[in-house]
Structure 1
Amino acid sequence: MGRGLQAGIARLSALALVLAVVGLLPWLSGRDPALALLRARSAEQEPTEEALRAIREEHGLGEGPAALLGGWFTGLLRGDLGTSWVSGGPVLPGVLDAMAVSLALMGAAFAVALAVAALVCAPVLVRGARGTLRPGGSGSGALAAMLAALPEFLVGVVLMVALAVWLGWLPPYGWRGPEHMVLPALAMGVPAGGLLGRLAADALPAVFAERWAGLWAASGCSPARIAGAALRRAVPALVPQLGMVAVGLTGGAVAVETVFSVPGIGRTAIGAAEARDLPLLQGSVLALVLLGAAAGTAAQALRALLLGPGLRDAALALPPPPSAPPGPLRRAVPVVCAAVLVAATAWGLTRDALTVDTGLRLAGPSWAHPLGTDAVGRDVLARVGHGAVSTIGTAALVCLLSLLIALVVGFRPTLAAGASEAANAVPPVIAAILVAAATGPGQAGALAAVALVSWPPLAAHAAALVQETRAAAYLSAQRAFGATPVWILTRHTLPAVIGPLSRHAVLRLPGIALALASLGFLGLGAQPPSAEWGLSLSESLPYVERAPSAVLAPAGMLMMLAAFAVSLSTLADVPRTVSRARPPGDRAAA
């Protein structure tokens, strides 16, 4: 079975699984759907048996999960997404209206992403076309990596504070004209553009190192022509990432639309989850998932078109450029970020994070409260310190669970590859919405949602390590000498896999913490009075004009965490890229 066919089957399986979960939301919630519908319509009406029986008969909620799923799919094929439990109107028109808003916003964000990517990779492209690109130089800069690591909701908050509150250039909320699209499009497009630009800039040095580039330059071709040819050579390998960026935009739309009060499909899904309006939630999540799946399929089709019939099944992967050892400044960045995070956390932990003093609400920084107070008079510095324990501690638990699952699944390469493809189709926020609909919002649900999409990349890495270790010649000799499979597993395979996989899991910890913070910001994660950074940011955002320090403190900690993640991962990549450039004998000696 070809790799493309396997990936297609994995995506279809993931889509079918998500659709089944969406269709079964009323049953998976663990509560009586009739009672949930009654509460959604009126929280004061008495839930008598007669009223519940009438609701079950009206909506067909008294049947089992198979009949419920079948009825939902039947309605879906007819173009009927059901009736809203809150408004009593049909779901489909509302979903289509919200989708129109989200598509317009995503289109503007994608244009911003392409512009940012062009700015990031333009210096590399110019130097490469002129033949002045330093061998072993880094294609992308730290700024691009930092932009790629920032979650959209955090970029949106910073842009709102800077451009709307302080400078007053743009409106902070709403959706009434083109000017209201600027900040949300920037919030979604800048991280996506940083990712695309970083990937393109890192791929271009390998393209310019190929023999044809030198031959074209020696033949007198203009730098512009060489640059155009290099872009055409690099684009097919990067097109799949366009699909990933589009999937990321669907997840980012949920947070950004919430930040800027945009009436799109993401905000509709969050509102439906909070109101327990399951039919509207089903329609909204279905629209988000299908939009992401369509974007991924379109990216694969575009890649096949660019490659042509002869290379359609080829990987056409570009070799990674050899990286030069980082300088002292780059080595100092993670140390400085870690020192700031530890110092702020330690200082905040010595203070009381729960005492409410309404007389000091929204107070500015002072000696008594170095970072001011929040909307109910709690010390912001204390909230920052205690929030670090909640945010990073939960992320560490997710990393540990992901590592254990990856170790088990990694010994089944086909399953690991399929799981990775499936996880690519579901952003963490979509998984969190589904989990919250089934179990209710909370830190446990956020942990489960992030873990669901965090272990497949580790499993794919584990599968690659297992295959590489099993193919080693010394293991063949061990088998020939009569070594048992258990001996080989415990003495050779596991030690070779656990080390690199554990380092990979640790490198993913800051990103997982940022994902958990985004869910807390959306109200799907930790609940009050928790000091989790995302929740603290969400609680203070409505008062950003009166107390910007209450917003900037958790936002600054999250940005520091993102910078730490980027710098640490960059340093960790250097030994691997340098080792690839060594002769086989040197690598074995190392």
Structure 2
Amino acid sequence: MLLARAAALLAVVTVVGLLPWLSGRDPALSVLRARSAEQEPTEEALRAVREQLGLESGPVALLGDWFGAAVRGDLGRSWVSGSEVLPSVLSGLGVSLALMGAALFLALVLACALCARTLIRGARGTLDTREGGGGGTGAPAAALAALPEFLIATLLMVALSVWLGWFPPYGWQEPRHLVLPALALGIPAGGLLGRLAEDALPAVFTERWVELWRSSGCTAGRIGRAALRRALPAVLPQLGLVAVGLTGGAVAVETVFAVPGIGRTALGAAESQDLPLLQGSVLALVLLGLLAGLIAQTARRWMLGPGLRDASLSLAARRPARASRLRVAVPVGCAVLLLVVIGWGLLLDPLYVDTAARLGAPSGAHPLGTDALGRDVLARVGHGAATTVGIAVLVCLGSYLLAMIVGFLPALASGASETANAVPPVIAGILVAAVLGPGSLGASIAVALVSWPALAAHAAALVQETRAAGHLTAQRAIGSPPRWILLHHLLPAVAGPVARHAVLRLPGIALALASLGFLGLGAQPPAPEWGLTLSESLPYVERAPWAVLTPAAMLLLLAMLAVSLSTLPAPAAGRGPIARARARALRPERSTAR
């Protein structure tokens, strides 16, 4: 695990160091334009820039020099400003650490609030665990976890800064500037931790020791503390993922609120192709995620103790509850509303400009108003679904196919998952955009790079479980060929669950693409992409809030769809592919005859 994380760090830093040559663009020209856009890019000027930066020595020598200097604590000088990189990185890192620390505190408070009811009821013995029931906060927690940080930041700015005026919308001068960015980062992180704790606690209270302690006269408070300590090791590994999410989400949040953190510094360095500053910023961001993951793993091992350190912590499986009509109606309602708005918008022209109707309020001619250029917001939202959701479907399909291939190589799947978890999607987007340039292709590749490993890890776990099943041992014993076992047992047992997993990730992939579009790393103007539409309208939020709230509402509906799908119970085990495979195993004469 430590080796995989170190390999991820080395790979990211190496890719960053080779960016000027991987992109195919002349780095001297990019630096010259970043320094002075008005200067003529003559051959003499470009040659002077190359000699000053040492570009003529080639990428390998330049990267080797950077690694050697970085070991000594020297990150070089900015190609644009000429100032030392290390002070800029440390300054941005200090701001980001303060922001992420406040966000993590809020996340823990929110997680405690979400699982408090389950913990109290379980400690008192009033929790119904027969159907895996908790305190009823699982769906709200999942809803908060599904919301992207840039969307929460936009909604908080509109509600608490523009409408109510409680907090300043931009800057980093006083403690009040910390509140909204910390909320934007802490709410989804707290929702994720709260959902995990909500899922883990009911299983703990079904264990025998709880009833034994209760019959021995232990107080509810003591049982609650012990149950919480028992459930925490299953949640602690996710703290590393939460920290990675905070580092990636901080880029978007710092951009929305103009916070001078390390994420915003990395984004600006990528846009100007300031290689030393980008290397230092990305190195700091990835190190933050890696360090948080290592701390979480160490804390988990300490809490488990020597007796359980090498054993898998497997809490009691929760029985799937029946799907109520309300739980089925929520995804159906979200999907219908999305389809109605998208279908209506597809009937209109998203590129038609009416200068007389700039920032126009909703009316009969423009049901959802117009943007800063006079384009119909409904039309742009409708046509933007093809870019946002359509590309997400292709990325999801590609991730699924790749995961099915890699999933049959468990060691490779595990290492790839660890590596991908160390790189936030936004950082991958910055790197890919620096190579291919901003656009839908680069955003798709960036999201795909961090989407397939989770599916591959799922597939690998199912492959291992199915290969160890007794009915496959019987198949081998009666002489079934490996190809038959693969096509009629392994693939049916793996393909279905991984496909459902991929479908559940589809809205999240679309939201990730929208976040890259919001940062200017995805689709470019005048494309009607949801994240880009939201970003273009954000400077006019005080005059035309509808232009911001409409794409935000579509993204919110997409997040609600993802949450409602993820909270639906899985199909009964008796009807799944593994059960069908076992049933086929009971008919060996038919299997071998074929």
Which residue number corresponds to residue 17 of structure 2?
23
Q: CA deviation at 1:306?
A: 1.7
Residue pair 1:202, 1:320 contacting (<8 A) in 2 also = no
* Matching of residue 426 in structure 1 with residue 423 in structure 2: yes
Name stretches of at least 5 consecutive residues in structure 2 with no aligned partner: 587-594
One-letter identity of the residue aligned with 2:254: E
Alignment partner for residue 538 of structure 2, among 535, 538, 541?
541
Q: 3-state DSSP class of the match of 1:308? A: helix
* Distance 1:107-1:403 versus aligned 2 partners, 3 A rule: same
* Structure 2 counterpart of 1:53: 47
1:3 alignment counterpart: none
Corresponding position of 1:301: 298
Q: What is the 5 A alignment of 1:298-377?
A: 298-377=295-374
Does the 8 A contact of 1:23 with 1:73 survive in 2?
A: no
Moved more, 483-492 or 71-80: 483-492
Task: Give the distance between the partners of 2:426 and 2:572, measured in 1 at CA.
Answer: 33
User: How many Å separate the matches in 1 of 2:161 and 2:552?
Assistant: 16
Of 133, 138, 141, which residue of structure 1 is paired with 2:133?
138
Which amino acid in 1 is paired with 2:118?
V
Q: Does the alignment pair 1:72 with 2:66? A: yes
Q: Which moved more, 1:127-136 or 1:441-450?
A: 127-136
**Deviation digits for residues 302-361 of structure 1 (CA, Å, limit 9, x no counterpart):** 112222233333332323422321321111100100010011100110111111112111
Residue by residue, what CA displacement relative to the aligned partner does 1:464-492 show, whole Å, maximum 9, x if unpaired?
22223333444444445554433433343
Q: CA–CA distance in 2 between the matches of 1:316 and 1:558?
A: 36
1:492 and 2:459 aligned: no
The offset of 1:211, in angstroms, is 1.1
Q: Give 5+ residue unaligned stretches, structure 1.
A: 1-6
- State the distance in 1 between where 2:227 and 2:499 align: 37
Question: What residue number does 2:119 align with?
Answer: 125
Which deviates the most, 384-393 or 235-244? 235-244
Partner of 2:401: 404
1:94-137 Cα offsets, whole Å, 9 max, x none, are 11111111110001101100110011000101111111101224
In 2: Cα distance, 1:586 partner to 1:213 partner: 38
Paired amino acid for 1:419: A
Q: Tell me which amino acid in the other structure corresponds to 1:554.
A: P
Q: Are the structure 2 counterparts of residues 500 and 116 from structure 1 closer, same or farther at C-alpha, using a change threshold of 3 Å?
A: same
Distance of 1:528 and 1:296 partners within structure 2: 38
**1:37 corresponds to:** 31
10-19 or 406-415, which moves further after superposition? 10-19
Question: Which letter maps to 2:14?
Answer: A
**Match in the other structure for 1:83:** 77
Is the Cα–Cα contact under 8 Å of residues 20 and 273 in structure 2 kept in the other structure? no
Picking from 501, 505, 522, the partner of 1:504 is 501
Report the counterpart of residue 215 of structure 1 in structure 2.
212
Paired residues of 1:138 and 1:323 also in contact (CA < 8 A): no
Alignment of 1:96-107 (within 5 A): 96-107=90-101
3-state SS of paired residue (1:62): helix
2:227 equivalent to 1:233: no
Aligned to 1:93: 87
Measured after TM superposition, the shift of residue 572 of structure 1 is 4.5
Cα distance in 1 between the residues matched to 2:574 and 2:186: 29
* Map of 2:5 onto structure 1: 11
**Counterparts in 2 of 1:80 and 1:468: CA distance versus 1, 3 Å:** same
* Letter matched to residue 558 of structure 2: L
Count of residue correspondences: 581
Q: Sequence identity, in percent?
A: 70
In structure 2, the CA distance between the partners of 1:333 and 1:586, relative to structure 1 (3 Å rule), is farther
Q: Distance in 2 between matches of 1:488 and 1:588?
A: 10
* 1:172-228 residue CA offsets vs partner (Å, 9 max, x unmatched): 111111111101000000100000011011100011111111122222222111111
Change (3 A) 1:418 1:529: same
Segments of 4+ in structure 1 off by > 6 A?
A: 584-589
2:168 maps to which residue? 171
Is the Cα–Cα contact under 8 Å of residues 210 and 223 in structure 2 kept in the other structure?
yes
User: Which residue does the alignment assign to 1:202?
Assistant: 199
What amino acid is the match of 1:162?
Answer: A
Q: Using structure 2 for the length normalisation, give the TM-score.
A: 0.94
| CA distance, structure 1, for counterparts of residue 582 and residue 457 of structure 2 | 28
Residue 165 of structure 1 aligns with an amino acid whose one-letter code is: V
Q: Provide the rounded CA distance (Å) in 2 between the counterparts of 1:368 and 1:225.
A: 64
**2:264 maps to 1:267:** yes
Q: 2:589: which partner in 1?
A: none
Partner of 2:410: 413
Do residues 288 (structure 1) and 285 (structure 2) align? yes
Whole-angstrom distance in 2 between the partners of 1:555 and 1:490: 44
Measure the CA separation in 1 of the matches of 2:575 and 2:310: 29
**Cα distance in 2 between the residues matched to 1:258 and 1:320:** 42
**1-side partners of 2:20 and 2:524: how far apart?**
23
Q: Which moved more, 1:94-103 or 1:461-470?
A: 461-470
CA separation of 1:574 and 1:198: change in aligned 2, threshold 3 A: farther
- How far has the Cα of 1:40 moved from its partner? 2.0
